[in-house]
Structure 1
């Protein structure tokens, strides 16, 4: 099983995620987040849950 890593640096509402695939930014405002790389929106729900939906072209 190969190892994987993900490091997140938070700069206010901007989050930078560093992983094996490179750097990807995301924007979080309150319980809503947007990731331009994957074109995904996410809404944080109570507990460890979140709802993720993507916009396909």
Structure 2
């Protein structure tokens, strides 16, 4: 087969491989690491109020 020739078997193999979805893994985080720092003039209460407005 020449270089660049279309290969039906290879195409079908790739379609089967790409069509399968692996759902055996756990996508939920259980441990969170790190920290958040915020520099600003707003009080904690004002930021929480703004957050509640965005959520609602």
TM-score normalised by L of structure 1 = 0.24
Question: Per residue, is there more helix in 1 or in 2?
Answer: 2
TM-score normalised by L of structure 2 = 0.24
Question: Per residue, is there more strand in 1 or in 2?
Answer: 1
